[in-house]
Structure 1
Amino acid sequence: MEDTMPARQYKDFFQKYVEAYNRGLKGDLDTELIQSFFTEHFLAAGPDSVETGSNNITFSATLRKAYSFYQKIGTREMHVRNLMVTPIDRFHDMVKVYYRADYTPQGKPIKSIDFDVTYFIQLSEQGPKIFGFVAGDEMQAYRDAGLVS
């Protein structure tokens, strides 16, 4: 195993992640595939909380609920615009992914929202796995864009 993954391999990793996300938005949600990007246990941090999660049936249910919400507000597609890799040590990296998401709210023109998420990645013989992520205020971004009230 290399000390750290090159940025190109992370681009491939997150492109596959986004492809799975986009298939889920179109109604072909494969929770097992999405769960395969995560370690057995992980951290999720937002502006108001830090939570731990387990990669189990509860996570699968959370994914189903989240995708239902994303579809309801008109999320159409996610794109990786760029990413920045910061090595932590030979087993871990931090990857900041810059996304653009396209939304088509009912009866309104397409809106795009740019945002980023910082992921903490564990490297193993099985490949990279997300063991934590830090996201911004997703709900405020939706309010600002008029997608939710």
Structure 2
Amino acid sequence: MDAQVRKLFERYERLFRKSLAGDADMDEVTSVYASAFIAASPAGIMVGKNDDQLKQAMEQGYARYRAIGTKEMRIRDVRISPIDEHHCVAHVAWTSIFARKGQTDVTIDFDVHYLVQKLVGEPKIFGWVSGDEQEVLRKHGIG
């Protein structure tokens, strides 16, 4: 399952880059997610479904990333912790680069821990745990 999960995140990274460029198909973007998901951060816990509302939220999220100057989002590393034969946690280390007018670019490293399930076909993300993105951006003078 390790190789398939790594391929999932390579694809996720490519889709993220296309979305930052304003060239994403939201059906393709949301295809990496399971039919339902859970997300946890210091802001609280959210549950959702992989539906039109998710597509709209993803479009708005990518538009916000572009608006605050996000130039690049790339994966530095993926470490996989198996749970059982169908589930794992993918610890993904990301690097983001932000452009700021009249200043040098800002690089921010952060980690997100994704819950992944593989039943039939490709693995799917059904949850994630992340830090306080807004606080990190604020500390770096972004947003």
> TM-score scaled by structure 1?
0.92
Q: Does 2:43 align with 1:63?
A: no
Distance in 2 (CA, whole Å) between partners of 1:123 and 1:146 is: 39
Deviation of residue 9 (structure 1)?
A: 3.2
Distance in 1 (CA, whole Å) between partners of 2:63 and 2:75 is: 21
Q: 2:28 aligns with which of 28, 33, 49?
A: 33
For each residue in 1:89-112, what CA deviation from the matched residue of structure 2 results, as whole angstroms up to 9, or x when unmatched? Answer: 111111100000111122321111
- 1:48-127 aligned within 5 A: 48-127=43-122
Unaligned runs of 5+ in 1: none
Distance in 2 (CA, whole Å) between partners of 1:32 and 1:107 is: 36
Distance in 1 (CA, whole Å) between partners of 2:116 and 2:53 is: 22
Q: How many residues align?
A: 143
Deviation of residue 87 (structure 1)?
A: 0.6
- One-letter amino acid of the structure 2 residue matched with residue 85 of structure 1: I
Distance in 1 (CA, whole Å) between partners of 2:132 and 2:28 is: 26
Identical-residue share of aligned pairs (%) = 33
- One-letter amino acid of the structure 2 residue matched with residue 44 of structure 1: A
For each residue in 1:62-95, what CA deviation from the matched residue of structure 2 results, as whole angstroms up to 9, or x when unmatched? Answer: 0111011100110011111011111111111111
Runs of 4+ that moved beyond 4 A = none
Give me the CA root mean square deviation.
Answer: 1.0
> TM-score scaled by structure 2?
0.96
